[in-house]
Structure 1
Amino acid sequence: MGSVTTPSTDRRATISLFSRLRTAEGQADPFPIYAELRARGTVSPAPWGGHLVTGYGTCDQVLRNGVWIEPDTTWREQQGARTRWSAPSAREISRTMPALNPPEHTRVRRSAGSFDRTTIEQIGRRVSQVVDRLLDTLHERLHAGEADFSALVGEELPVATIGDWLGLPSADWPRLRELTHDQVFTQELLPNASQLARSDAAMVELRAYFLELIRDRREHPGDDPVSRWIRTWDELEPDRDKADEAVYFLALFVLLAALETTSTLLSTMTLLLVEDPDRWSLLAEHPDLVPAFVEETLRYDPPTHVISRVASEDCLLEGTEVKAGEMAHLMVGAAQRDPARFTDPDSFAPRRKASHLAFSGGIHYCLGAPLARLEAQTLLSRMIARLPRLTLVRRPVQAPRVAFRRLLNLDVSLT
C-alpha cells in the first residue's frame, strides 16, 4: 500500500524545504530545492498561510490579472498589530508606488514620469563614463592581485547612476547604499525580528534624509527629478505637507529599486560570465549577444525570487480555491526554471531569447527596467572590450535571503 500524505505532512515537508533555502548551500544554489517545491504542484499551500506558486504560466497570469492586487496599507492593517506587516518599515514601504493599487497607483505612476528614450540617452552618457572609471579602478586592483568585483563595480555603478540622476551628493552614496541593504528585509519573505528592526531603523534615516532633500529643493529648485516631482505634486495636491510626502515616497522608491536589484543583476551577470571561459569567448566573438546575455541572466537567476500578491475576491487558481485577502507568493526563481515553459531550463543559454518575469508584469511592471538594462548592457559590453578575460577566484557568498538575492562578494583575477 502507498503512503498517505496528510496536510500536516505537507506542511512539515514545505517548512523543511524553506529551512534548506536559508542555509548557505540553499542560498548558493536554491534551484534544486525549487524543483522539489515545484514537484508538489503548480499551486501548493504555504505553511504560514496563503499559497506558493511555482509554474511560470500561473505566475504570469497572476501578475496580469486585476483580481490579484498588491498587499497595500489597508490589507496590512487587517493582518493585526503583532504581525510583520505592522512593523513601521512595512507600513512605510506600503506607501511607495510598487505597493499601491489603482486608482492611487495610476495617479502616482503618472506623476513619476518614465525613463523615455531621451532620458535614457542622457543617463546613458553618464553610465558610460562611470563604467569606464570603475573598470579603470578594477584593472588597477587586478594588477596587484585579486579584486572584489561586487564591491568595486556591482555596488558602485547603480548608486552612482541614480545618485547622479537625482542630484544626490556623492558623499552620501555609501550610507544610502548601506541603508538600502538594511531596509530590504521588510520586503523579505519571512523576516525575523532583528531583520525587521534593521529595516525600521533604516527607514527612519531614509525618511529624514529625503524630507530634508525635498526642503532644500524647494528652496533651490533645479532641473532634476526631485524638483520636477515637487512641481508636479504641488499641482496635484494643495496641501504642501502631503505633496512633500508624495515626493518623498517617489524618491525613496526610485533609490531602493535602483540600488538593490540592479547591483544584484550586475554581479550575477558577471558571475555567470567569469565562471565559464566559453561564455567570455562567446561574447568576445559575438558582442551583439550582450542584450540576450543580460536577458538570460534575468531568467536564469533574477534579482528577486519571490513576488507576493493578494486576492481581491474569492477565486480559483489552477483549481485551488482562494479566499479574498489570501496571499499568493509567486516563486519567480522557481517559475523561471519551469520545464513546462523552457527547454532545458537549468542551462544558461544566451541565445535562448526567452521571456521572464524578473521585472514583474501587468500594471506593476518595473518602471526602471530600461535603466537596469542600460547599466547591465553597458557594463557587459565595456568589460568584454576593455578587460582581459577575468577568472573566478572562489565561489561568492550569498546574503541570507530568500526573496531578494545579493552576492556579498565576487572575487576575480586576471587570467
Structure 2
Amino acid sequence: MFSRLRTAKGQANPFPLYAELRSGGGVVAAPWGGHLVTGFDLCDQVLRSREWLEPDTRWREEQGDGTRWTAPSSREMSRTLPALNPPDHTWVRRSAGMFDRASLEDLRGTVGRITGRLLDTLAARLDEGEADFNALVSEELPVATIGHWLGLPTADFARLRDLTHDQVFTQELLPSASQLAKSDAATAQLRAYFTELVRERRARPGDDPVSRWIAVWDTLESDQDKADEGVYFLALFVLLAALETTSTLLSTATLLLLEHPRQWDWLTVHPDLVPAAVEESLRYDPPTHVISRVCAQDRLLGGVEVRKDEMVHLMVAAAHRDPAKHADPELFNLHRKPAHLAFSGGIHYCLGAPLARLEAQTLLHQLVRRFPRLTLVRRPSWAPRVAFRRLLNLDVALS
C-alpha cells in the first residue's frame, strides 16, 4: 500500500488507499513495527493526551546506530521545538513568543503587499498564456513572509527554500538512504546559515525576532554558547515550519477550488467564505498526512495494545475522511463545520497556524477578486512522499 502511495497515481489521489487502510479498523499494525491510526477521534485523542510523546532525542538514540533516527538530520530535528517533550517543550515554546494577535496585525499589511506583488507577476504571465501558480505564488509567499519577519536578505530566499525541500526528507514516514543523505546535507547548510545569523544579531541586535530571542535566552541560560544554540534551533524550526507546509496549503486550496468550479464561482460572489475555504482545504487534503507519536506507557488504543516506546503513526488525512466524523467526507464543501487535525493538537498545536491561515486567506481574497476566471490547465504532479504533500506544479490560465 505504501509503495502504491508513492506512485504518480497514489500521489494524485491517495484517498482510496486511505479508505482501504481505514477499512481494517481504527488502529492497525504497521509492517515495519508500531501502529497506524486512521480514526478521527482516536487521532484527536492521541494528539491531545500527554500520555503520547514526541520521538525526542532519548527515544531516537535508543533506536540504535544505523537507523534513520540517528541520522545527523534526525538528531538535529530532535532538538527543535516540535520534537521536545515537557518540561523542555514548555519553556522553549514560551521563549518563542510568536504570532500573537499584535504580531499578526503587524504582518497583515506585509502579507497583503507581498501577495499583491506576486499576483502582479502572475497576471503578467497569464497575459502571455498559462502560468505555474505553484512556482510564481505558492513557493514565494511563505519564504518572502518569514524572510521579512526574520529580517533575512531577499537574495537568500531561493536557497533557503530549496534547502527546506531537501531537509524535510528526514521527517518523512519512510525516507530512503539517498533522501536522508540529502536531508543531512541540507541540515548542515541550514545550521551554518542560522548559526552565522545568530552571531551577527548578537553583535548587532535589532528590532527582529532573532534579536529578541537572544535577549530572552540570555535570561534562561548563563552559558552564551548554549543560549545562542537555543536561538539557532528556534530560527531553524521557524523556517522549516513556515515554508514547506504553507506552500502546499496555498497550492492545494487553489487547486481544490479550481477543481470544483461551482465552489469557486460561489466564492467569487461570497468572499466572506474564504476562511471556510481554507479550513475545508485543510480537512480535505492537509499539507501533512501523517503525524507520529510514541507511547509513554503500555496502554490500549482503540482496543489495541500498544507497548511503551512503540510508535503510532496518525494518518490524519485518512482520519479527515472518517465517515464517523464527517457526513459525506469525500465531498469538498465550503459550508461544512470546520474540524480537522492539520495543525496537530494539544500542547504541540502548531505555533505557526495563525500565520499560515493569514497567508492562505489573504491569497484567496485577492485571487477571487483579481482572477475570477482562473481555470486549471492540467492536473498537477506531486513529489513522491507520504507524510509531507508537495505539489511540483500548478498550471493555470484565464478562461
Same-fold status (TM-score > 0.5): yes
Match of 2:326 among 320, 342, 353: 342
Between stretches 278-287 and 225-234, larger displacement belongs to: 278-287
Deviations along 1:209-234, one digit per CA (max 9) or x if unpaired, are 00000111011100100000000001
Deviations along 1:325-367, one digit per CA (max 9) or x if unpaired, are 0000000010000001100001100110221000000000000
Hey, what's the Cα distance between the residues in 2 that align with 1:137 and 1:388? 17
Shift of 1:117: 1.0
Between stretches 276-285 and 362-371, larger displacement belongs to: 276-285
Match of 1:79 among 44, 63, 69: 63
Q: What residue number does 2:304 align with? A: 320
- Structure 1 segments, 4+ long, off by >6 Å, are none
Query: TM-score w.r.t. structure 1 length?
Result: 0.96
8 Å contact kept, 1:146–1:393:
yes
Whether 1:281 and 2:261 are equivalent positions in the alignment is no
Deviations along 1:289-309, one digit per CA (max 9) or x if unpaired, are 000000000000000000000
Within 5 A, what are the aligned runs for 1:137-156?
Answer: 137-156=121-140
Shift of 1:276: 2.5
Match of 2:112 among 122, 125, 128: 128
Shift of 1:114: 2.7
Shift of 1:388: 3.6
8 Å contact kept, 2:72–2:184:
yes
User: Root-mean-square deviation (CA), in Å?
Assistant: 0.6
Give the fraction of aligned pairs with identical amino acids, expressed as a percent. Answer: 72
Q: What are structure 1's unaligned runs of at least 5 residues?
A: 1-16
Shift of 1:207: 0.1
Q: What residue number does 1:13 align with? A: none
Match of 1:222 among 190, 193, 206: 206
Q: Secondary structure at the match of 2:152?
A: coil
8 Å contact kept, 1:280–1:389:
no
Q: Secondary structure at the match of 2:135?
A: helix
Q: What residue number does 2:285 align with? A: 301
Q: What residue number does 2:53 align with? A: 69
Match of 1:118 among 99, 102, 105: 102
Match of 1:310 among 281, 294, 300: 294
Match of 1:384 among 368, 373, 385: 368
Shift of 1:259: 0.2
Q: What residue number does 1:253 align with? A: 237
Hey, what's the Cα distance between the residues in 1 that align with 2:88 and 2:226? 14
Shift of 1:187: 0.2
Shift of 1:190: 0.2
Hey, what's the Cα distance between the residues in 2 that align with 1:389 and 1:229? 45
Q: Would you say how many aligned residue pairs link Structure 1 and Structure 2?
A: 399
Whether 1:161 and 2:131 are equivalent positions in the alignment is no
Q: Secondary structure at the match of 1:413?
A: strand
Q: What residue number does 1:242 align with? A: 226
Query: TM-score w.r.t. structure 2 length?
Result: 0.99
8 Å contact kept, 1:115–1:370:
yes
1:28 is matched by which residue type in structure 2? Answer: A
Q: What are structure 2's unaligned runs of at least 5 residues?
A: none
Q: What residue number does 1:6 align with? A: none
Within 5 A, what are the aligned runs for 1:368-379?
Answer: 368-379=352-363
Hey, what's the Cα distance between the residues in 2 that align with 1:221 and 1:98? 27
Whether 1:409 and 2:388 are equivalent positions in the alignment is no
1:338 is matched by which residue type in structure 2? Answer: D
